[in-house]
Amino acid sequence: MGQAAFEPVLTAGIGRLELENIEVYESRGGYQALRKALRSMTPAEVQKEVTDSGLRGRGGAGFPTGRKWGFLPNDGRPRYLVCNADESEPGTFKDRLLIERNPHLVVEGVLLAAYAIGAARAFIYLRGEFRQGYEILSRALEQARRRGYVGERILGSDFSVEVVIHRGAGAYICGEETGLLNSLEGRRGEPRLKPPFPASVGLYGMPTVVNNVETLACVPFIVARGARWFASIGPEKSPGPKIFSVSGRVRRPGNYELPLGIPLRELLWEHAGGPLPGRRFKAVQPGGGSSPLLVPEQLDVPMDFDSVARVGSMLGSGGVIVLDDRDCVVEAARILTEFYAHESCGQCTPCREGLHWLARILARLESGGGRPEDLEVLRSTPPFIAGRTICPLADAGVGFLRSSLQHFPEEYQAHVQHGRCTREAKTA
């Protein structure tokens, strides 16, 4: 499995080196993968290498990247590459790290993917809140342009591509790829019905690939070191390095780059330092605010796409949020449900109305006005919301609620019976 010898690559040097300086990045082998591809590999060969590596999308869905690229029809229409840098999943801060601290890796990944799929133009859809990231990434792109890595006839080859950074403006839903494409077209960021998928009808109606920042950041290493190297890291069906963002009630919150498949327990104890002094873990969201919670008995789950799905949650973005014995799950459910209600684009009634009402009921429970029938409504409503909308935001919006009702029904009961949280040390 090669796990004993695992060395971080995506985050290597961050904090010690000024990787945003192109000379520093180049001195560590930066842009050599681009050179190698343009000099000695056809686009199809780059694509094959990525397919063979087993790389799966790091934005949340875990779809095989090479296969996604392979869906583009060969019909002569212009193609677009879009890098999804709209990182907004609660508990996730890995793409921001790469953008701010290793921006050239992102740029090189974008260029390689654009070459592989033959993109006429590449867009980086950057979260509007990432103002510092925009400044840093813009400077990196300008440096890369001056070096001849971006623009016309890159490094003297026949390959030309322009890269444009497009800033969002505050809308979680634009992280959903079709909402993102509408936003990039200058419209409200409302998701589109699929099919058709972006591979055939994407940006401006053209064949389009949308890949997450971390996904594209893996590509230079796959090209430089080979598919076999990448595939040797972690589980066979979920290979490669992954940045896990850990936050909440741990001693050492932060981004940890580790092989996919590392047990959640190991991530939380050996890397994130375990629970705070005198506390016990109570519930963990393994894949961002959208993921159903896991309880302490489930912490041995390997952190890869398939294993986490098997225990009823999802790896998602790899944003791990930890609650401990002082935390109130009703309060956490209220915060997350309010967030998703706020971010609903409003197209689909179950999401727009349903999440809103669930959030109101949770707020009522929390403030002492809960009624016995509220619990029945909280249990019976989510099936009429999840899976009945254009995009997965609605499913995300009830993920924590459903799982917390399943694992901690007594806590909801207590709020109804006593009009408050009966846990002694609720967050103030």
Partner 1 sequence: MAAAWQKEEPEVQEILQRYPQRRSAIMPLLHLAQERRGGYLAPEDLEAVGEVLGLTVAEVESVASFYALYHRKPVGRYVLTVCANLSCHLSGARELVRHLQQRLGVEPGQTTRDGLFTLEVTPECLAACDQAPAVQVNGYYLHRVTPRRADELVEALRQGRSPQELAQRSQLPPPVGEVHADGAGGL
Contact 55, 116 (CB under 8 A): no
What is the x/- site pattern for partner 1, positions 55-84, by CB under 8 A?
-----------------------x------
> In degrees rounded to 5, what are phi and psi of residue 44?
-65, -35
In the complex with partner 1, the residue whose CB is nearer, 295 or 335, is: 335
Residue of 51, 53, 84, 255 interacting with partner 1 (CB under 8 A): 255
Interface residue with partner 1 among 59, 103, 289, 370 (CB under 8 A) is 289
CB of 51 to partner 1, least distance (A): 29
Phi-psi region of 130 (alpha: psi -120 to 50; beta: other; left: phi over 0): beta
Q: Considering beta carbons, is residue 108 or 343 the nearer one to partner 1?
A: 343
Alpha carbons 259 and 16: distance in angstroms, whole number:
22
Determine if 363 is a binding residue for partner 1 (CB under 8 A).
no
Q: Which residue lies nearer to partner 1 by CB, 41 or 351?
A: 351
Q: What is the 3-state secondary structure (H, E, C) of 318-340?
A: CEEEEEECCCCHHHHHHHHHHHH
Widest pairwise Cα distance in the chain = 73
Closest CA to 176 of 400, 393, 397, 395: 393
Among candidate residues 323, 325, 303, the one with its CA nearest the CA of residue 314 = 303
Pairing of strands 241-248, 254-259: antiparallel
Distance, CA of 181 to CA of 179 (rounded, Å): 5
- Neighbouring C-beta atoms of residue 377, cutoff 10 Å: 12
Q: Residue 36 or 420: which CB sits closer to partner 1? A: 420
Question: Would you count residue 339 as binding partner 1 (CB under 8 A)?
Answer: yes
Tell me how far apart the alpha carbons of residues 79 and 20 are, in angstroms, rounded to a whole number: 29
163-202 residues in contact with partner 1 (CB under 8 A) are: 164, 166-172, 183-189
Burial of 413 (0-12, 13-18, 19+ CB in 10 A): middle
Q: For residue 86, which of 131, 135, 129, 121 has the smallest C-alpha distance?
A: 129
Task: Quote the least distance from Cβ 204 to partner 1, whole Å.
Answer: 6
The reply on whether position 92 binds partner 1 by CB under 8 A is yes
| 131 binds partner 1, rule: CB under 8 A | yes
Q: Is 121 helix (H, G, I), strand (E, B) or coil?
A: strand
Q: Which stretch binds partner 1 (CB under 8 A): 43-51, 107-115, 335-343, 415-423?
A: 335-343
Q: Which residue has the tokens 């190991």?
A: 266
168 sits in the region (left: phi over 0; alpha: psi -120 to 50; else beta) called beta
Nearest alpha-carbon partner for 191 in 408, 393, 363: 393
Handedness of CA 261, 99, 224, 62 (dihedral sign): positive
Give me the 16-55 binding string for partner 1, x by CB under 8 A, dash otherwise. Answer: ----------------------------------------
User: Which is nearest to 113 in space by CA: 46, 62, 166?
Assistant: 46
Task: Please work out the total of residues on this chain that contact partner 1, with binding judged by CB under 8 A.
Answer: 65
Give least dist CB 371 to partner 1, A.
25
User: Which among 248, 402, 261 has a CA at the least distance from the CA of 325?
Assistant: 248
For position 260 contacting partner 1 by CB under 8 A, the verdict is: no
214 binds partner 1 (CB under 8 A): no
Instruction: Report the nearest approach of partner 1 to the CB of residue 276 (Å).
Output: 11
Min CB(10)–partner 1 separation in Å:
11
Candidates 64, 70, 226, 253: give the one binding partner 1 (CB under 8 A): 253
Tell which one of 52, 129, 266, 325 touches partner 1 (CB under 8 A): 129
Q: Does 366 bind partner 1 (CB under 8 A)?
A: no
Around Cβ 125, how many Cβ atoms within 10 Å? 24
Residue from 42, 157, 417, 427 in contact with partner 1 (CB under 8 A)? 427
Comparing CB distances to partner 1, the nearer of 19 and 22 is: 19
Q: Which is nearer to partner 1, 41 or 356 (CB)?
A: 356
Q: Candidates 305-313, 331-339, 347-355, 382-390: pick the segment binding partner 1 (CB under 8 A).
A: 331-339
Q: Which residue, chain included where needed, has tokens 């609620």? A: 401
User: Contact with partner 1 (CB under 8 A): which of 121, 139, 147, 352?
Assistant: 121
Residue 338 as a binder of partner 1 (CB under 8 A): the answer is yes
| Residue 299 one-letter amino acid | L
- Rule CB under 8 A: which residues touch partner 1? 11, 14-15, 78, 87-93, 95-97, 100-101, 121, 127-132, 164, 166-172, 183-189, 204, 245-249, 252-256, 273, 289, 319, 321, 323, 327, 332, 335-336, 338-339, 342-343, 345, 427-428
